[in-house]
């Protein structure tokens, strides 16, 4: 299962730098399977898509808050993420192959 969020930003260059240099490395060190994709040629619901692996069951999300924001650096990164994005929607999806 995967958690997805679509969002736009005011400054794509600064957002890319933030994600590549700070956000993604931190959350990967904390154990998240996390990716951010950039929409190409306007073929998507927003400029960016955040994808986070949830494992194979919905209950895996239960420990996310502590994993993500249990340390001051994580709280600061999440606050910065919330400030820079304009939320465009989200979903939880499951791979059809495992259904």
DSSP for residue 20: I
In a domain, 92, yes or no: no
Q: What is the pLDDT of residues 83-95, one digit of tens each?
A: 999 998 999 888 8
pLDDT number for residue 61? 67
In a domain, 3, yes or no: no
Mean pLDDT of 39-52: 90
In a domain, 9, yes or no: no
List the structure tokens of 46: 């927003």
pTM for this one?
0.85
The parent domain of residue 41 ranges over 14-83
Domain count of the fold of the chain: 1
In a domain, 96, yes or no: no
Count Cβ atoms within 10 A of the Cβ of residue 50 and give its class: 0-12 exposed, 13-18 middle, 19 or more buried: buried
């Amino acid at each position: 299962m995967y958690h997805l969020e679509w969002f736009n930003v005011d400054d794509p260059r600064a957002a890319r730098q933030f994600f590549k240099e700070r956000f993604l490395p931190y959350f990967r060190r904390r154990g998240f399977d996390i990716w951010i994709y950039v929409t190409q040629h306007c073929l998507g619901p927003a400029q960016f898509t955040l994808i986070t692996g949830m494992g194979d069951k919905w209950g895996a999300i239960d420990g996310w808050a502590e994993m993500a924001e249990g340390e001051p650096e994580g709280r600061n990164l999440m606050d910065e993420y919330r400030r820079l994005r304009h939320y465009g929607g989200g979903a939880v999806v499951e791979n059809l192959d495992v259904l």
